[in-house]
Each structure stands twice: as structure tokens, then as C-alpha cells.
Structure 1
Amino acid sequence: MAHPGTEPVDVPIRDTAIRLGQFLKLSGLIDSGADAKAVIANGLVTVNGEVENRRGRQLQPADVVMFAGRGARVAAG
């Protein structure tokens, strides 16, 4: 598990893009889709350093998602 201030972990995806809500679950940053909806709606998730409130935001390889001091980077599968 990553600790605050550490590099985000690379999480490979199968396709060329993935939605933010799906990636939060895939990366293990959150446990369920309901959790994803809530933390995104509450402005607790950043993508590339900026708060993102669209669960359907399309992420591309190299995008970095942060939540609760932990991070994950989208990696090409």
C-alpha cells in the first residue's frame, strides 16, 4: 500500500481509456461504485493534480488519480 508522499502505483488497463469511477475500483483506491460516486461528488479525488467531479471522466495512460493520500497511475495494458 502506498503512503502519502510516495509515487503512485501503475495500474494497467485493458483498453486505451477507462472511466474514473471504474479506475478507482480497479486500482483498489475505493471498494465499490457507490463509494466512487460519493468521493468524486464530494471533491475528494484529483486527476493530474486537479479536483475531478465527473465519475465518467475518460482517463488515458499516464493520468494520475489521487484519493486519501494514495495514488494510482493509468498504465497501458
Structure 2
Amino acid sequence: MTHIKINKEPVELFKILKFEGVVASGGEAKAVIADGQVKVNGAVETQKRKKIVDGDNIEFMEQEYQIVLE
């Protein structure tokens, strides 16, 4: 599991995917979320602007990421 550090919360889901380089662009992030390819805390998430906070887990393409507030 990879840890993603954030310095404020909440952060929108698509921004985390984009800024961490999980996907190439914000548009791609929105597309994979809308397509149901991303899970948050074990459940498929289709809200692009889902608010992500400390302790949340994100799964995408068999990779897991845990959000940690600095």
C-alpha cells in the first residue's frame, strides 16, 4: 500500500489521482471515476468530487493508496 500525504482536507478524489500521477490528466481521472474503476474504502465511487480525508483508502488498477494528513 502506498501512502499519499495531503496537507489539508478534504481533497477531491479526481485531484488526488491527477496530482499523484496515478493518471495522466484531470480529464482522465474524471473518466476512470465515472466509469466505476475507482474504489474508496472498498466501495465503487463514481463521484468525481468525492471529498477524501485522512484515513481513506483508494483502490485503482489493483493498487491501493492510503491518505495521510501531514
1:5-16 equivalent positions in 2, closer than 5 A: 8-16=1-9
TM-score by length of 1: 0.84
Cα offset for 1:28?
2.4
Candidates 30, 34, 47, aligned match of 1:54? 47
Unaligned runs of 5+ in 2: none
Candidates 13, 21, 30, aligned match of 1:37? 30
Residue 22 of structure 1: SS of its match in structure 2? helix
Q: Does 1:66 align with 2:59?
A: yes
Unaligned runs of 5+ in 1: 1-7
Partner of 2:17: 24
Cα offset for 1:26?
2.5
Aligned residues: CA RMSD? 1.0
- How many residue pairs are counted as aligned between the two chains? 70
What is the one-letter code of the residue matched to 1:14? N
Q: What's the % identity of the aligned pairs? A: 31
TM-score by length of 2: 0.91
Partner of 1:4: none
